[in-house]
Amino acid sequence: MKKSKLLIESTYDFDLLGLVAPLKDYKMAWMINNCLGLELKKSADYTMEFTNQPTLIISQYLLEKDFGFIQLLRNKSYPLAGQARFLVPELKIMDYFLLFQDKADGLDLNMYIERLSKLRGVQNVVKLDITKLKSRDNLLTY
């Protein structure tokens, strides 16, 4: 019997900031909300199941907009069976990822980076190129 393969090409139509900030997720969300005037709210944890590896459970905060969303994802998962895994393993140094998908284009990432860099507890903010990430599919949470 002939086998067919289904090839799916994902689109990455969002901007991505990486944050180095060793803070609790609720405190990070609160600081971002105050700094940028957003209303990120805790939503259900993002769960990824793998066949030969432990489940990945990631804390997430979300703000739904008319033409997109803003999402805060923690890079390090909740430890299961004594192991903590990462959403984007090649960027273990990053504590959080801030995804911006806004089709209205009213977004000034440079201003966001500048403001977030001044927050106490935030050590670094970097705009990341999604196309260069090996595990970029893990960021497709919607």
Tens of pLDDT, residues 89-126: 898 999 999 988 876 666 788 899 999 999 999 999 99
Residue 36 neighbours by CB distance under 10 Å: 17
Answering whether pTM is above 0.85, one says no
* pLDDT tens per residue across span 35-79: 999 999 999 998 877 777 777 888 999 998 888 888 999 988 887
List of E strands, 24-135:
41-48, 56-65, 68-74, 96-102, 124-128
Residue 15 neighbours by CB distance under 10 Å: 17
